[in-house]
Amino acid sequence: MRNHPSSSDIETHFSDDYLHFGDLVNSPEKSDREVRAIWELLSLREGSSVLELGCGYGRISNRLAEKGARVTGLDMSAILLKKAEADATERRVAVEYILGDMRSLPWRDRFDAAFLWYTTFGYFDEADNERVLHEAASSLRKGGRLLIDQLNRFAVLRDKSPTHDIVQHNDDLRIDITNYDALADRQNTERIVVRNGCVRRTRLSVRHYGFSEYVRMLRSAGFETVKAYGLEGGDFTPYGPRLLVVAYK
């Protein structure tokens, strides 16, 4: 397996199969809790302009719009964006959805806040991952905030590798076989989907960073202050499940 996935790997991984199992993995109640945490962590208020990078099918963006934020969502999966737009219409909210690559953003000094949620940072090689942070910084106004949510690598390392995670939707199965490469700090996942009598396999590799690495990268990208949190904005603990980072421009 390559050290990092190509754009085609990412698009194949985030396909209609991803949607099919979505609500089983992230329940509406979980999404509602996460939106409340994002609102607080980014100090949002009604009318705040917010950019979600890797917005997927809009489960977070559309809920933020319901709370009164002015939301733009960017993703490289046309399939997921179509679902996001349909959900926005159903919820009667206006969200600007853009098909694009987070490594090259069209906006400068536009947003009050931006975020990458649910381990959406780290898909690329080192240079491109840092490029994402520079692009995010450039899209923010002075005083803007950037939030990144990822698995806490200390907790991941505590688990024996590989791990196997199975999700069942009626007769369909999604099986994730995950290995953590401690030398590269990359979590490599092979996903096997058994659906409608067909078997499909995809691979995804995500780079996990420690807080000190985030501080270095984010300051290099133009942020002044960087803070760490744990799951849904609680205190960070070494073996808690998540590391949340908030950077201030």
Q: Are 247 and 223 in contact (CB under 8 A)?
A: yes
- The rounded mean pLDDT for the chain is 95
Helix, strand or coil, per DSSP, at residue 22: helix
Expressed in angstroms, the distance from the first to the final Cα of the chain is: 37
Query: From CA 31, how far away is CA 35, in angstroms rounded?
Result: 6
Express each pLDDT in 19-56 by its tens digit: 999 999 999 999 999 999 999 999 999 999 999 999 99
65-68's contacts with Cβ under 8 Å and 24+ in sequence apart are 65/91, 65/93, 65/94, 65/95, 66/91, 66/93, 67/35, 67/39
**∠ CA(30), CA(158), CA(37), 5° rounding?**
25
Residue 160, pLDDT above cutoff 90: no
Among candidate residues 167, 229, 155, 228, the one with its CA nearest the CA of residue 193: 167
β-pair partners for 188: 179, 205
Express each pLDDT in 64-106 by its tens digit: 999 999 999 999 999 999 999 999 999 999 999 999 999 999 9
Domains by residue range for the chain, with CATH: 7-151+210-248 (3.40.50.150), 156-202 (no CATH)
212: tokens are: 């000190």
| CA-based R_g, the chain, Å | 17
Distances (CA, A) of 202 to 15, 38, 155, 197: 10, 30, 24, 17
Dihedral pair phi/psi, residue 173, rounded to 5°: -125, 145
Among candidate residues 244, 219, 226, 225, the one with its CA nearest the CA of residue 234: 244
229 contact partners, CB below 8 Å, separation of at least 6? 41, 235, 236, 243, 244, 245, 246
Give percent above pLDDT 90 in the chain.
93
pLDDT band at residue 164 using 50, 70 and 90 as cut-offs: very high
171: tokens are: 């007769």
Express each pLDDT in 196-227 by its tens digit: 999 999 999 999 999 999 999 999 999 999 99
Q: Are 42 and 145 in contact (CB under 8 A)?
A: yes
Query: From CA 168, how far away is CA 21, in angstroms rounded?
Result: 8
